[in-house]
Amino acid sequence: MTPITSLDSLLTTLKNEPRRRVAVAAGQDPGTIGAAAKAAAEGIADMILVGDADRIADLCAEQGLDAGVFTIVDVPDMIEAAHRARDMVRAGEAEVLMKGLVGTGDYMKSILDKERGLLPPGAVLSHVTVLELPAFVQRHGKLLFVADVAIIPLPDLATKKRILRFCLDAAHSFGLERPRAALIAATEKVSPRMRATVDARAIRDESGDEFADAIVDGPLALDVAISPEACEIKGLDSPVGGAADVLVFPNIESGNVFYKAGTLLSGGRVAAAVVGTTAPCVLTSRADSEESKLLSIALGCRLVT
């Protein structure tokens, strides 16, 4: 498979593959329905809107959308709609779950329900983000896979390994045979006073068997992870240095700030999905653009195993 190096290429690739089915929980969402319509109309996915059918019809009329591109399941109550959409995924009637108008808390409760949810016992719920950053693309001609920027506040060593695995699996799904992964910290020097450096070195030293499908190094500061010049100036010899495909952050603060700086200050484009579940789950914010929602639908489809 030729590596996917842009989010536009992701959309194009999916048009040439069998369509995945995406169940939207409470599909009567003005900010989501346009992205869902585009995904359906462009052949990226078959979109199933589970929600208030009358409101969905009204929104389609208001936005000039063809309601015929959707499969609509009439469940007016939003929480019930979330449960129905989730159950469709559990039953194999859909392969991706997506949040619509239902609140984030209720959406996550549906996913995490111990009896009917999508998180297997003992599994780790995390979040993978794919970023297309203009300066990075200009220099390296590729995408960045990063985690965790949204769910896990302070992962321990075992959880960081799971996060790394999620990122590597996502990178593999984009056609990267042996992605380079940087375990991010403030410095390359290991110090017992900086847990991020200790954990990064432990993961690197133990990566031989567990992560044989990747090149893993750390701790690495952000500059040497993505800048060959920084490596040269610092005299750093790293198999990942200056060429990272994957960035694993030590905590949610560092990851979230990087993500928001990349999108709000650098004009980055983004796709994101919740992982660790039995099926990819798209969790977008009301503030996310229609394009970001479309790209996240595409990512969810790409991550289906």
Between the alpha carbon of residue 39 and those of residues 12, 50, 60, 214, 232, the distances in Å are: 11, 16, 15, 32, 44
Please report, rounded to a whole number, the percentage of residues in the chain having pLDDT higher than 90: 96
Exposure string over 25-52, b if 16+ CB within 10 A, otherwise e: bbbbbebbbbbbbbbbeeebbbbbbbbb
Q: Any idea what DSSP says for residue 263?
A: I
* C-alpha torsion sign, points 1, 39, 135, 167: negative
What's the CA gap between 254 and 64, in Å, rounded?
Answer: 41
Predicted confidence (pLDDT) at residue 13 exceeds the cutoff of 90: yes
* C-alpha torsion sign, points 90, 95, 100, 104: positive
Confidence band, pLDDT 50/70/90 cuts, at residue 255: very high
pLDDT of residue 209: 83
What pTM, to 2 d.p., does this model score?
Answer: 0.96
Q: Which residues contact 234 (CB under 8 A, 6 or more apart)?
A: 188, 224
Size (the chain), residues: 305
The arrangement of secondary structure in 126-265, i.e. its CATH architecture, is: 3-Layer(aba) Sandwich (3.40)
Strand pairing report for 126-132 and 269-275:
antiparallel
Query: At the top level of CATH, which class does the domain 7-121+277-302 belong to?
Result: alpha beta
3-class secondary structure, 82: helix
What's the CA gap between 146 and 160, in Å, rounded?
Answer: 12
Rounded mean pLDDT, 166-193: 97
Say if 7-121+277-302 and 126-265 have the same CATH topology: no
- pLDDT 10s digits, 269-283: 999 999 999 999 999
The answer to whether 48 and 75 have CB atoms below 8 angstroms apart is no
pLDDT of residue 207: 78
Q: CB atoms < 10 A from the CB of 194, how many?
A: 16
Domain boundaries of the chain, sorted by first residue: 7-121+277-302, 126-265
pLDDT of residue 285: 82
- pLDDT 10s digits, 180-223: 999 999 999 999 999 999 999 999 998 778 999 999 999 999 99
Give the DSSP letter string of 184-200.
Answer: E-S-SS--TT-HHHHHH
HSE toward the beta carbon, residue 296, CA cutoff 13 A: 28
